[in-house]
Amino acid sequence: MKKITLFVAIAALFAASCSNSLEGSKETQALAPSAALTDSTSYLVGVNFAGFLQNYDFGKLNFSEMEKGINDALNAKGTPRDAEFAKQFKISPELMNDVLGKFLEKRKAYVSALNTEKEKAFFENIANTPNVQKTEEGLYYVVNSAGEGANIALNDTLYVHYTGKLMDGTTFDSTEADGPSANFVLSNVIKGWQIGLTNVAAGADVTLYIPSNLAYGENGQPRAGIGPNAPLVFDVKIDSVKFAK
């Protein structure tokens, strides 16, 4: 019901913002939002809705059918609580959860298989990168600048600057170049970091090529833009280390 309510709420917003005629006296009409404010609100509703689509990784939807659904919702009589309400639609809104669940299940299966195919080709190419090293777990890494002292341990606290990218080069996360370091205990982050960074010392600058099974696996991190079975690339500069006692 939450998904149904969401779409009905969006339709209600469109109904409020898409009306071109105002009722009441001139004084009353003067209180209504201006055309410019209505246009701005309409645009931002679209931006907000796009965020919802991205969070669920819908891929490319049929916006023509979406427009039909919105128009049908705007023109529907009554409320979802009315017995005849659902009959006004091409597809009953009561089927939203079932249809959406099936779509997302198929979408995830497709993206998972596609990323697996791309991951294989990606690491075949990475294997030829100059100075690349490979661990027995399948992690590839390049030490761009060696640190000094003892290697980092899992219980140590690291202070780092980093950039995280997908295999197509898209940046999904990073610290600010001139901002403060990110800090964490190494054992609290993904396996790829744990394996890669225990092979270097404080002050090191390293690039990690992390297979999906050492990152976020088949679930991915949709809100961060990381799909299922997605390998990741991190450029990590270890600013300092607080060694565990």
Catalytic positions: 162, 172-173, 190, 216, 234
Closest by CA to 131, choosing from 151, 145, 148, 152, is 145
Please give the sequence-ordered ranges of beta strands (E in DSSP) within 111-190, or none if there are none: 133-134, 140-145, 157-166, 171-174, 182-185
Q: Tokens 């270890």 label which residue? A: 238
Give just the sign of the alpha carbon dihedral 187, 193, 197, 202: negative
Distance of CA 206 to the CA centre of its chain: 25
User: What is the maximal distance between C-alpha atoms in the chain?
Assistant: 79
DSSP annotation of 178 reads T
Distance CA 6, CA 96 (A): 11
Cβ within 8 Å of residue 115, ≥6 positions away: 212, 227, 228, 229, 230, 231
Question: Residue 138, by phi and psi: left (phi above 0), alpha (psi -120 to 50) or beta?
Answer: left
